[in-house]
Structure 1
Amino acid sequence: MKAVNEQEIRASFANCSKGEAKRLALPRDLAEQPWDDLDFLGWRDPGAPDRGYLVTERGGEVVGVALRLSARQRGHLHRGMCSLCLTTHPGSGVSLMTARRAGQAGRDSNSVGVYVCTDLACPLYVRGKKLPDLGGRLEETLTVEEQIDRTRAKLSAFLDKVLA
């Protein structure tokens, strides 16, 4: 992913108002992000723990979606698997996140959900740049490049549903 700045990020959101995009908290370390290792920039809002954000390149444009985390937390004995990167995490390391659909469907309260790494660090897990706490990655016969392609395809399918 190419590096994006604050203005590009705020203008990219497809499923929230311009006012909401203007007020959302951006990552403090935006300039230090490992852009070459990111398929998307994902972060949680420290001031609103039930909110997360995801920004990616799609068709030559920067597209962002606002996410809400499910209020239901899982117990420490439960293990979950991210549906984007297939990383497993214990407890609340994987969360159901929902995105309000873009346009009229979103205004009609329609949303799309996905189970995803709670810290939204999927690109780093796939590349082995970050290790999950007590979780892990499945042993796979796919190369890292093929795993990256699969993660991108799963992200694209999710975004198709949000933006439809």
Structure 2
Amino acid sequence: MQPIPEQDLLASFVNVSVRERRAIPVPEDVDWDDRDFIGWRDPKLPLVGYVVVPTDDELIGIQLRETAQKARRRPQCAWCEDVTLSHEVAFFSAKRAGAAGRNHNTIGTLICAGFECNSNVRKPPPLAYNGFDLDAARRQRIKHLRETVTAFARSVAAGA
């Protein structure tokens, strides 16, 4: 992922008001290598997170809210689908863009609580059988993450 200037990063948010956009804390010291999206939590609002996804034609920024409910079983992240997680997965909801969001329409999904998906898909997967192509499996996981995150971002931006 290419570095994104702060002004472009903030301008990409599709489901926030102008006032909310000005209050978004921009992360510092981002490692832009090996990223399919950038995600961070708000240090002042522990249940709020932000994700910026580069699509083919634009950047889509999304404000997310974590539900305070904890699952009885350990859920699987819908984005990276990692089954060997050493961290929490949380349910996040996002207000849809435009009129749909103003009418309180939301979309939700399970995501790694600290947005670790980028590194999760780049870890070597477990060996499924002798001769299993670990590099191909890793590339497939990265491709799947990009597709899943992009589809979620476009769904929020569409406002439908």
Q: What's the TM-score bracket when you normalise by the shorter of the two chains?
A: 0.7 to 0.9
Moved over 3 A (4+): 137-142
Aligned alpha-carbon RMSD (Å)? 2.0
Superposition pairs of residues 101-120 of structure 1, within 5 angstroms: 101-120=96-115
Contact 1:87–1:138 under 8 Å retained in 2: no
Partner of 1:94: 89
Higher relative contact order (CA 8 A, sep 6+): 2
Number of matched residues?
151
TM-score, normalised relative to structure 2: 0.85
Cα separation, partners in 2 of 1:79 and 1:19, compared to 1, 3 Å: same
SS at match of 1:112: strand
Question: Hey, what does 1:134 align to over in structure 2?
Answer: none
Residue identity opposite 1:16 in structure 2: V
What is the deviation of 1:74? 3.6
Query: Which 5+ residue runs of structure 1 have no aligned equivalent?
Result: 130-136
AA in 2 matched with 1:70: T
More strand by share: 1
Report the Cα distance in structure 2 between the residues aligned to 1:154 and 1:18, rounded to whole angstroms. 27
Question: What amino acid maps onto 2:119 in structure 1?
Answer: L
Aligned to 1:54: 51
Identity percentage of aligned residues = 35
| 8 Å Cα contact 2:96/2:157 also seen in 1 | yes
Give the TM-score normalised by structure 1. 0.83
Give how far 1:12 is off.
Answer: 0.6
